[in-house]
A and B are shown apart, each in its own frame.
Chain A
Amino acid sequence: MLLILIPVLFFLLVSQSQAQETPNTNLFETYKNDYLFQQKIYQETYLDYSKKKQIHTQYGTIITQKDKNESTIKVLIARNTMLKAYLIAIRVKMDQYEAQNPTETEIRQIELSKLEEWLEEQNTIISSINNESDISQFAANFKEKYPILQQQIYSSLVQDEVNQKILILEKVKILAENIKSSPNIKPESQQWFSSLPVKSDLVVKNLDNAIGRTKQKQYSSLTFRDFYPDAKADLNKANNYLAEIISDLKSIVIKFSE
């Protein structure tokens, strides 16, 4: 009896906790899992492609050539499918904090959708190709387009993180006001809030810097100027200021609570 009850209770608890999550989080998790599955397929097809390529280099027959072309087409399709799944996952993820910056977020999401369509279209093209010269042309086109894809991906990641930090900052400001007006906090605490606007401005400044890096001009379409580490450093600075603000507020509450 107990053996039956334990799994039933476990299932109930798990389903209850899952129900508490927002639908968007669930949707993101679904697309993330799909992306991870596609990534696994890409890795498998890539291994097969590497093997067939090696065999063709060794023997150089018509049969090995055919095998290699087939495995190349397979891996190119898998690569595009995986990238498309990744783009969908981050586009859906951006919905969570969209309210903090709807216009910019929507622009990013539209750009991601366009790239998803482009990848889908590429898969239709590659399916009809059967000779090495066309495969090579197709691969060259992708290589040329890829820096644009990277630019959009990293810009979207930065935008999403900025949106999240803005949400936290808004909540922190509301909390600070609540602390100021709380009857449980001594009035002497008021002067301790002086550093809050300064740190808050520093958070905003660093977030602006991070966004600014995503909008810098690309001088060449063939190379990707990797702005993400610098943008991430700005985001980390903003994160640290946020942590300091939260910590300061906590200290004020502890020091002046009645």
Chain B
Amino acid sequence: MTNDTVQNMDEPQDNPTISNKTVDKKLPKDPKIIILVFLISLIIILTIVALIVSATKNNRPSIKREDPAFLTPTTSTNQPIPSATPFNSQIPEELKTQFDEIEKEYNNLKNLLPPQIDTEIGLEVK
């Protein structure tokens, strides 16, 4: 009798054909844990996306209400006021107030167009 160790092919842990079973054991089988893991990863992804979006937004040049681009009226036929958007701060304070007042008035038009009505109501007589 020899004492040499011999691989027993019937032993499940040594059988190469069922080696996947060991891997499966490492994965959590409880659905609650799976959902939890999924939710945590979703939160992490959303946080990262939110950070990226807010960082991009902060880097974009901001548009102020007093910019001349806002002076354009609602109808597309009107031209926007060209000029000097970033230089508004160079306007002396006493004149800036007047400019603001005029621009506010310029944008203040509230047109209330007449209603569409049917003038044929009641006219039909056979």
Chain B residue numbers with a CB within 8 Å of A28 are: 110
Q: In the docked arrangement, what's the CA distance between A168 and B109, Å?
A: 11
Of the listed stretches A76-84, A194-202, A213-221, name the one at the interface; the rest are far from the partner chain.
A76-84
Assuming A153-B114, A253-B91, is B123 touching A244 (CB within 8 A)?
no
**In the complex, B82 has a CB within 8 A of chain A:** yes
Q: In whole angstroms, what is the CA distance A138 to B119 when docked?
A: 11
Chain B 75-108 interface mask (CB, 8 Å, partner A; 1/0) = 1011111111001101110110011011101101
Whether the Cβ atoms of A239 and B122 lie closer than 8 Å is no
Min Cβ gap A46→B in Å is 7
Is there an interface contact between A247 and B115, defined as CB atoms closer than 8 Å? no
Contacts of B125 in A (CB 8 A): 132-133, 136
Interface size on A, residues (CB 8 A): 61
A79 to B115 CA separation, bound complex (whole angstroms): 10
Q: Is the CB of B108 within 8 A of A139?
A: no
A8 located at the interface, meaning its Cβ lies under 8 Å from any Cβ of chain B in the complex:
no
Interfacial chain A residues near B73, Cβ < 8 Å: 236, 239
Residues of chain A whose beta carbon lies under 8 Å from any beta carbon of chain B: 28, 32, 35, 39, 42, 46, 49, 53, 72, 75-76, 79, 82-83, 86, 89-90, 93, 132-133, 135-136, 138-140, 142-143, 146, 150, 153-154, 157, 161, 164, 167-168, 171-172, 174-175, 178-179, 182, 184-185, 232-233, 236, 239-240, 242-244, 246-247, 249-251, 253-254, 257
